[in-house]
Amino acid sequence: MISRRDFLQSSMAASALLGASGFGRWARLAAQQSLTQDQLLQFDTYGNVSLIHVTDIHAQLKPIYFREPSINIGVGENRGAVPHITGAEFRRMYGIEDGSPSHYALSADDFEALARGYGKVGGLDRMATVINQIRADRPDALLLDGGDTWHGSYTCYHTQGQDMVEVMNALKPDAMTFHWEFTLGSDRVNELVESLPFAALGQNIFDAEWDEPAELFPPYKFFERGGVKIAVIGQAFPYMPIANPGWMFPEYAFGIRDEHMQEVVDEVRGMGAELVVVLSHNGFDVDKKMAGVVSGIDVILSGHTHDALPEPVLVGETVIVASGSNGKFVSRVDLDVRDGRMMGFRHKLIPIFSDVITPDPEVAQLIDTVRAPYEEAMGEVIGQTASLLYRRGNFNGTWDDLICDALLSEREADIALSPGVRWGPSLLPGQDITREDIWNVTSMTYGAAYRTEMTGEFLHVVMEDVADNLFNPDPYYQQGGDMVRTGGLGYRIDVTQPQGSRISEMTLLATGEKIDPARPYQVAGWASVNEDTEGPQIWDVVESHIRKQGTVTVQPNNSVAVVGA
Amino acid sequence: MDVTRRNAMFMGAGALVAFGLPLRATTADIEAITAFTGGAEMADTGVTLTAPEIAENGNTVPIEVSSPGASEIMVLALGNPTPSVATFGFGALAASHAASTRIRLAGTQDVVAIAKLEDGSFAKATSTVKVTIGGCGG
């Protein structure tokens, strides 16, 4: 008799051979240079349960360009493991042909040329078409939203998340978990969550005062689909009050709380759950570790670190699915659950090619309606770009180089710091930069651009602290996100060293001099987690800078020397 | 001002924290442990310490200790100026041998729980709690 583990793995192997994960047929598509919606959505319905996973949409209602990272270093046990493999190595690993649609969707090389060929990605109206198509195959499929949905655009900021709530409601999710949503402030989050027609889950969302589970966010919800009792457990971003301003939601505490996760898994199993799904905003490496610590989870739908993987990763008997960001992908996971256990799965990461997938007319209409009051203001052209503007990468991206330049010149600073967030679409050379484009990479509820004095020693502490959030070898001490971006400051980083010893050779680029630990420097930055941060909003600073430039050109950035990658 | 929170968190914590290094145990801590255990070996299992990996607020970090067979559990924050946090005693009729409290941590450091079991042996659990200025989430 085939063991459960063998069955899982053989199912995985078969799906790879047959191309059920989507990438096997790209070679032919590349030859044809023609993609169709049917090809993108082709899926041989399997088993008796379907899960649809979307995550980290960051309020991108409309199609965009989105360049994946070319540098994404893993440390400790995750060194050289997915998702810490990029570029050609990533394509070889998954058998993705150069120049294919999958190359364009999943890796960064030749981005500009491929983007011109294959067009924009995402758009919730296209996503709606894909979701409806899956529901046509499997009417009772579960749609699960991993969070970071109500943040990241001009309209989301001005409606305090209402635009996203309305459009997502039209997609009819079954459950959701959270991260940036809390930066709307706890009053607004509570108000929106109370209005939701679906479950708002988080086993790790606690009442800060009593250190007890928060009433508004149940740990799990049961669904009965295809005759299977399914428990969906929510796991919100564990480090919200640390990575984001805790003063905006002081009533709530978070944390990984894997002991509590185990208790919840045991509880739902005890109640007869035949399939346990964790809808997670942990980040991929944290989910991998948690899958090894907590027993009894069948599927983790992983979000937060914005990784898009064409195949799930298996940890023991737990399947981990990563579905990208910014509306670029939808994951479909079909499961065969029999005799109270998962016997096999079939998976496809579906890239949302906007020019290939027909928009759902009702959702398209709804998006236009929620955007209408803001179209004029956000459509204003501020300048043009001569360079590819993108954000993703461990140490820098051209959008952040531009933002740092804006901070240095508009705020008259020696050094600029820009947060290592992973959201924000890309722009191609020759494109207009609209106000909406600027907001797409800067919008947040704590966007004040501060200017302050820091000693060289203090700057070093800040850099070391952020580096440890990214390169601590234990994933439970990582917060996701990337290294703080620096303007006017060069440095060397050895990612293999412990905190305090990673950053060296800090240099003031304007003079080429080494940073003096005792000397004060004028530092401009944004997205401070401190209450009462003062300064103009970052989008205004960037807009003013771009207006003065007319056409922006971003020079290659060689200011960070990376060792130990 | 971007520096306020950090200053508040690390005020008075000294040069070690300013360099972001974990605070280490001192001779005084080791003496306190020896006084409790009499220098006996400590097993790795038998006591559970639950603490956050990264503190949301270093001034009030929730921790929980439990050890079904313990008569006493001592808690130390090895990097604090005064490492001794508490020693919980459990009588023969105690319904549960667990306690939770909140502690203040001067910086990133190890928190240690040592249980004196009813058979006279000792067990120890250690957890590193990071106190950080925070990064920037995805």
Query: Any chain A CB within 8 A of the CB of B4?
Result: yes
Chain B positions in Cβ-Cβ contact with residue A457 (cut-off 8 Å): 18
Q: What is the pLDDT of residues A102-138, one digit of tens each?
A: 999 999 999 999 999 999 999 999 999 999 999 999 9
Query: Any chain A CB within 8 A of the CB of B20?
Result: yes
Token duo for residue A267: 């509880």
Q: What is the pLDDT of residue B29?
A: 76
- What distance in Å separates the CA atoms of residue A424 and residue A150, rounded to the nearest whole number? 14
Calculate the alpha carbon distances from A521 to A279, A414, A454, A458, A466 in Å.
44, 6, 5, 10, 19
Choose the mutation target among B1, B2, B23, B132 for the interface with A, i.e. most A CBs under 10 Å. B2
A274, A388: one domain: no
Pick from A350, A369, A388: which residue ends a domain? Answer: A369
Per-residue confidence band for B48, with pLDDT thresholds at 50, 70 and 90? very high
Q: What is the pLDDT of residues A424-475, one digit of tens each?
A: 999 999 999 999 999 999 999 999 999 999 999 999 999 999 999 999 999 9
A228, A144: one domain: yes
Q: Domains in chain B and their CATH numbers? A: 4-129 (2.60.40.2470)
Per-residue confidence band for A6, with pLDDT thresholds at 50, 70 and 90? very low
Alpha-carbon distance A342 to nearest alpha carbon in chain B (angstroms): 31
Question: Is residue A11 a part of any domain in this protein?
Answer: no
Q: What is the pLDDT of residue A565?
A: 85
A405, A490: one domain: yes
Chain A positions in Cβ-Cβ contact with residue B5 (cut-off 8 Å): 529-530
Alpha carbon A17 to its chain's center: 29
By the 10 Å C-beta count (0-12 exposed, 13-18 middle, 19+ buried), A334 is classed as: buried
Chain A positions in Cβ-Cβ contact with residue B52 (cut-off 8 Å): 255-256
Alpha-carbon distance B134 to nearest alpha carbon in chain A (angstroms): 5
Q: What is the pLDDT of residue B92?
A: 84
- What distance in Å separates the CA atoms of residue A191 and residue A193, rounded to the nearest whole number? 6
Least confident span in A219-223, A470-474, B1-5:
B1-5
Compute the half-sphere exposure of residue A146: CA atoms within 13 Å on the CB side of its CA: 37
Q: Check residue A97 and report its DSSP letter.
A: P
Q: Give the one of A239, A304, A450 whose C-beta lies nearest to B54's C-beta.
A: A239
Q: Do A527 and B19 touch (CB under 8 A)?
A: no
Pick from A327, A348, A369: which residue ends a domain? Answer: A369
Q: What is the pLDDT of residues B69-120, one digit of tens each?
A: 899 999 999 999 999 999 999 998 888 999 999 999 999 999 999 999 989 9
Q: Do B137 and A254 touch (CB under 8 A)?
A: no
Question: Is residue A88 a part of any domain in this protein?
Answer: no
Alpha-carbon distance A347 to nearest alpha carbon in chain B (angstroms): 25
Question: Is residue A532 a part of any domain in this protein?
Answer: yes
Interface of B with A in 67-126 (CB under 8 A): 100, 108
Q: Check residue A373 and report its DSSP letter.
A: G
A350, A237: one domain: yes
Q: Do B54 and A242 touch (CB under 8 A)?
A: yes
Pick from A349, A369, A389: which residue ends a domain? Answer: A369
| φ, ψ (nearest 5 deg) of residue A374 | -110, -5
CATH number, residue A248? 3.60.21.10
Query: What is the dihedral angle through the alpha carbons of A365, A370, A371, A377, rounded to the nearest 10 degrees?
Result: 150
Per-residue confidence band for B27, with pLDDT thresholds at 50, 70 and 90? confident
Q: What is the pLDDT of residues A487-496, one digit of tens each?
A: 999 999 999 9
Q: What is the pLDDT of residue A385?
A: 98
Q: Which of A297, A354, A333 has its CA nearest to residue A138?
A: A333
A213, A252: one domain: yes
Q: Which of A326, A222, A312 has its CA nearest to residue A276?
A: A222
Host domain of residue A481: 380-563
Q: Over chain B, what is the mean pLDDT?
A: 81
A239, A348: one domain: yes
- Say if residue A299's pLDDT is above 90: yes
A322, A409: one domain: no
Question: Is residue A239 a part of any domain in this protein?
Answer: yes
Question: Is residue A205 a part of any domain in this protein?
Answer: yes
CATH number, residue A436? 3.90.780.10
A301, A391: one domain: no
**Quick one: average pLDDT of B45-53?**
95
Q: What is the pLDDT of residue B100?
A: 95
A363, A387: one domain: no
A174, A230: one domain: yes
Alpha-carbon distance A27 to nearest alpha carbon in chain B (angstroms): 32
Chain B positions in Cβ-Cβ contact with residue A253 (cut-off 8 Å): 56, 62
- Say if residue B8's pLDDT is above 60: no
Q: Give the one of B18, B22, B56 whose C-beta lies nearest to A242's C-beta.
A: B56
Least confident span in A36-40, A229-233, A316-320:
A36-40
Q: What angle do CA A283, A287, A293 make, to 5 degrees?
A: 150
A321, A390: one domain: no
Report the DSSP beta bridge partners of residue A427.
Answer: A389
Question: Is residue A302 a part of any domain in this protein?
Answer: yes
- Say if residue A311's pLDDT is above 50: yes
- What distance in Å separates the CA atoms of residue A224 and residue A210, rounded to the nearest whole number? 33
Q: Over chain A, what is the mean pLDDT?
A: 93
Per-residue confidence band for A99, with pLDDT thresholds at 50, 70 and 90? very high
Total domains in chain A come to 2
Query: Any chain A CB within 8 A of the CB of B135?
Result: yes
Write out A47-81 in H/E/C secondary structure: CCEEEEEECCCCCCCCCEECCCCCCCCCCHHHCCC
Question: Is residue A287 a part of any domain in this protein?
Answer: yes
Question: Is residue A390 a part of any domain in this protein?
Answer: yes
Alpha-carbon distance A8 to nearest alpha carbon in chain B (angstroms): 31
Alpha carbon A64 to its chain's center: 15
A474, A515: one domain: yes
Least confident span in A237-241, A313-317, A453-457, B27-31:
B27-31
Per-residue confidence band for A60, with pLDDT thresholds at 50, 70 and 90? very high
- Say if residue B10's pLDDT is above 70: no
Q: What is the pLDDT of residues A340-386, one digit of tens each?
A: 899 999 999 999 999 999 999 999 999 999 999 999 999 999 999 99
Chain B positions in Cβ-Cβ contact with residue A178 (cut-off 8 Å): none
Q: Do B134 and A469 touch (CB under 8 A)?
A: yes
Q: Which of A476, B52, B105 has its CA nearest to residue A468?
A: A476
